[in-house]
Amino acid sequence: MLAVVCPGQGAQTPGMLAPWLEVPGVAHTLGELSEVSGLDLARLGTTADADEIRDTAVAQPLLVASALASARALGAAPDVVAGHSVGELGALALAEVLDDRTALRLVALRGRAMAEAAARVPTGMSAVLGGDPDEVLARLAELGLTPANVNGGGQVVAAGTLDALAELAAAPPTRAKVIPLQVAGAFHTDVMAPAVDVLRDAAAGVTPADPRVTLLTNADGTPVATGAQAIDLVVQQVARPVRWDLVQETMASLGVTGLLELAPGGVLAGLARRVLPDVERVALKSPADLDAARDLAARHSGTSVPTTNQEDQP
């Protein structure tokens, strides 16, 4: 059984799309998605510097567009799909709940709304690596911080005020390491409530389809039953914690044997290495990984995956 996953914010790196533009079909896909996002995604993924693509309003559509462009170039047919944080909108497109253009339109709106919400009050996020899980959560509660991402494998991302995060770094839980993250604010907390309202209003005009494959939600890792539920969950997710640990637990219970992380891959495959050690993994970091990804998909999904792509469209 093949799971295909879409990475979340923080996975972007300068120049990450440069080699992908040589793959037939990718330039055309990025051009279409640039139209609906209002961003020059090809430029942002090739020549923009780290500061420019760190901007939430830029990073989110860039990441989802990269995942979808690599997915369309690959042509694999997954059994299970999921996305981490903003990657969940990419997963909705893979599950055919939304078409790619609608997904990017919502992602671009999400990114702008979250950036605006973050600018209202100084907040941030820090990764907490290691330590006893109960002690980590107790320390966050003591400081009034939210476990915004519970990723499994001993990784929790804390979100809240800058003072509380500084106190966490000064006195971390036993055997835990605290790493400040370069993000605009406390994502997946109540700070993002204004962005939820914006995204909900936009989503009200969308007519989703029911998932064509098993789609797992960040809310609690369970399969999503309908398109309407998928849209509701992805809207609420903006101000609610990401439970990637539960997504991975569900993958294990479903019998997933192969995991493919779309571009820019690496983070989620790394988490799976620790949490799902018996699951074969491939991360699409560049087009050089396409052959390995096609082989993985063919063996674990039981679906024939083409070894060549259609010629790029004008």
148 and 110: one domain?
no
Burial of 46 (0-12, 13-18, 19+ CB in 10 A): middle
Q: Please give the model's pTM, rounded to 2 decimal places.
A: 0.93
Classify residue 203: in a domain, yes or no: yes
Q: Residue 309 falls within a domain, yes or no? A: no
The answer to whether residues 53 and 62 touch, using CB atoms and an 8 Å cutoff, is: yes
Phi then psi dihedrals of residue 156, to 5 deg: -130, 140
| Within-domain flag for 35 | yes
Catalytic annotation on 304? no
313 in a domain, yes or no?
no
Q: Are residues 202 and 288 in the same domain?
A: yes
Q: Say if 47 falls within a structural domain.
A: yes
In this structure, the answer to whether residues 28 and 132 fall within a common structural domain is no
If asked whether residues 164 and 213 sit together in one domain, one would say no
**Which residue shows structure tokens 């063996």?**
299
**DSSP-assigned letter for residue 239:** G
In a domain? residue 307: no
Claim to verify: residue 158 and residue 260 sit in the same structural domain: no
Residue 251's domain is classified under what CATH number?
3.40.366.10
> Looking at residue 93, what is its pLDDT?
98
What is the pLDDT at residue 302? 60
**Quick one: 156 and 172 in the same domain?**
yes
Task: Determine contact, residues 177/136, Cβ cutoff 8 Å.
Answer: no
Say yes or no: 133 and 80 in one domain.
no
Asked if 173 and 243 sit in the same domain, the reply is no
Catalytic residue among 37, 188, 300, 301: 188
Task: Specify whether 91 is located in the same domain as 105.
Answer: yes
Catalytic-labelled residue, pool 85, 126, 300, 301: 85
Structure tokens given for 89:
């909108």
Structural domain of 130:
123-180
Per-residue pLDDT tens, the chain, 314 aa: give them: 999 999 999 999 999 999 999 999 999 999 999 999 999 999 999 999 999 999 999 999 999 999 999 999 999 899 999 999 999 999 999 999 999 999 999 999 999 999 999 999 999 999 999 999 999 999 999 999 999 999 999 999 999 999 999 999 999 999 999 999 988 999 999 999 999 999 999 999 999 999 999 999 999 999 999 999 999 999 999 999 999 999 999 999 999 999 999 999 999 999 999 999 999 999 999 999 999 999 999 999 964 333 333 333 32
Instruction: Note if 34 is an active site residue.
Output: no
Q: Is residue 223 part of a domain?
A: yes
pLDDT for the residue 195? 98
3-state secondary structure 166-227: HHHHHCCCCCEEEEECCCCCCCCCHHHHHHHHHHHHHHCCCCCCCCCCEEECCCCCCECCCH
Give yes or no: residues 53 and 115 share one domain. yes
Where among 180, 207, 228 does a domain terminate?
Answer: 180
**Domain containing 157 — which CATH number?**
3.30.70.250
The β-bridge relationship of strands 80-83 and 155-161 is unpaired
Regarding whether 29 and 89 lie in a shared domain, the answer is yes
> How many structural domains compose the chain?
2
Residues 281 and 199 in one domain: yes
The secondary element (H helix, E strand) that includes residue 291 is: helix 290-301
**Residues near 32 by beta carbon (within 8 Å), at least 6 away in sequence:** 100, 101
310 domain residue, yes or no: no
